[in-house]
């Protein structure tokens, strides 16, 4: 996912999409999200909301 704030791209796992009630993502979709750091130190997008 390309971020508007200039930060590095964010990884989005399909489970985060499903938990947010979305049925999938398409190129060009705009989302609001939070960044979560897992126990390995990897960042991913969570709590997705389609704009």
Mean pLDDT for the stretch of residues 31-44:
91
- What's the rounded Cα separation, in Å, for the pair 38 and 13? 12
For residue 35, what pLDDT is reported? Answer: 93
2-30 pLDDT, tens digit each: 888 888 888 899 999 999 999 999 998 99
Q: pTM for this one?
A: 0.77
From residue 48, give the alpha-carbon distance in Å to each of 6, 31, 40: 18, 6, 21
For residue 3, what pLDDT is reported? Answer: 86
């Amino acid at each position: 996912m390309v971020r508007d704030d200039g930060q590095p791209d964010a990884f989005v796992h399909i489970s985060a999409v499903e938990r947010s009630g979305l049925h999938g993502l398409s190129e060009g979709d705009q989302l609001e999200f939070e960044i979560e750091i897992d126990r390995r130190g990897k960042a991913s997008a969570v709590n997705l909301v389609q704009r």
